[in-house]
Chain A
Amino acid sequence: MAEPMKIRASMAGDTAEVKCLMNHPMETGLRKDAKTGALVPALHITNVTATVNGKTVLDAQWGGGVSKNPYLAFKVKGAKAGDKVMVSWVDNTGDKNSAEASIG
């Protein structure tokens, strides 16, 4: 989905706390359309990666069980204010999105 994700990144002591809000319908493929009764096809993020100054810190695989418009928070020790955090996702159709923020 093209909707931009939001990232908030700030330092707490020597650890960066990163919080993201992604926009994605996260369909499991198990839900029936209320009007037609047909199964809504699976459409969900399958992979999420996060980097700090280009170095991978998080590499995740997701199923449809993560909630719609996913929220993700993680912590990185040793990151510093001003470092660049980038979070990217890919879904099961190949659609992708990413966003970048400076750690505040």
Chain B
Amino acid sequence: MNNLRRNVLKGAGAAGAVSVAVMAGLLKPGMALADWNKAGFESKDLNGAMSAIGAGSAAASGDISVKAPDIAENGAVVPVEITSNIAGTDSIAIVSEKNTMPLIADFKLMNGAQGFISTRIKMGSTSNVVAVVKAGGKVYKAHKEVKVTIGGCGG
């Protein structure tokens, strides 16, 4: 997807790049060149993922709550709820430290959206689930360990 973007931007001026790409057959109509942090999402370790989202020097904060199970019922669907009580929260990201690709999701919040995200994530093994919060130009983090087992009664 990035190569396509690079070629499109190389081959056309800033204006009309998308229509040029469509005409050149490089871009199917309706396919958006949305922003996607490829380096971050394909990073294979915690530090890489954290740097890629600008959280390399995030400060631990007690004003972020990471609600997640002690022991996941099923690692494919682990409920995670992050609440940030830090004033001016404008971004929440979720990182699962031991996942093959730790960066799970990165949410920008604006126009009244509160510091709250609830979702379900995949975890391959016992790991810290890290919440990265940005507010007022600063970066903060908190985490909770979630144990993941492989059950024996599947049938």
Q: How far is the CA of A62 from the CA of B120 in the complex (A)?
A: 12
Among residues 88 to 119 in chain B, which have CB atoms less than 8 Å away from a CB atom of chain A? 96, 99-114, 116-119
For the complex formed, measure the closest distance between the CB of B121 and the CB atoms of chain A, giving whole angstroms: 6
Chain A residue nearest to B118 in the complex (CB): A73
Query: Does A30 sit within 8 A of B, measured CB to CB?
Result: yes
Check if A73 sits within 8 Å of B31, measured CB to CB.
no
Most B CB within 10 A of own CB, among A19, A67, A74, A77: A67
Query: Does B153 sit within 8 A of A, measured CB to CB?
Result: no
Q: Pick from A52, A61, A65, A72: contact of B101, CB below 8 A.
A: A65
Check if A74 sits within 8 Å of B112, measured CB to CB.
no
Report the interface size class on chain A. 35 or more
Check if A28 sits within 8 Å of B112, measured CB to CB.
no
- Chain A residue numbers with a CB within 8 Å of B138 are none
Check if B31 sits within 8 Å of A94, measured CB to CB.
yes
Q: Pick from A67, A74, A78, A90: contact of B117, CB below 8 A.
A: A74
- Chain B residue numbers with a CB within 8 Å of A47 are 32, 34-36
- Chain A residue numbers with a CB within 8 Å of B102 are 65
Chain A interface main SS type:
strand
Check if B34 sits within 8 Å of A58, measured CB to CB.
no
Chain B residue nearest to A58 in the complex (CB): B113
For the complex formed, measure the closest distance between the CB of A20 and the CB atoms of chain B, giving whole angstroms: 10
Check if A57 sits within 8 Å of B112, measured CB to CB.
yes
- Chain B residue numbers with a CB within 8 Å of A94 are 28, 30-32
- Chain B residue numbers with a CB within 8 Å of A75 are 113-114, 116
Interface positions of B (Cβ within 8 A of A):
1, 28, 30-32, 34-37, 41, 76-79, 81, 96, 99-114, 116-122
Given contacts A28-B101, A52-B111, 11 further A-B contacts (CB under 8 A): A19-B118, A47-B34, A56-B110, A61-B35, A62-B105, A65-B101, A67-B119, A73-B119, A74-B113, A77-B112, A90-B32
Q: Pick from B1, B99, B108, B110: contact of A92, CB below 8 A.
A: B1
- Decide: A63 near B114, CB < 8 A? Known: A47-B35, A94-B31: no
- Chain B residue numbers with a CB within 8 Å of A72 are 117-119
For the complex formed, measure the closest distance between the CB of A27 and the CB atoms of chain B, giving whole angstroms: 11
Check if A60 sits within 8 Å of B77, measured CB to CB.
no
Most A CB within 10 A of own CB, among B30, B76, B105: B105
Q: How far is the CA of A68 from the CA of B122 in the complex (A)?
A: 9
- Chain B residue numbers with a CB within 8 Å of A57 are 109-113
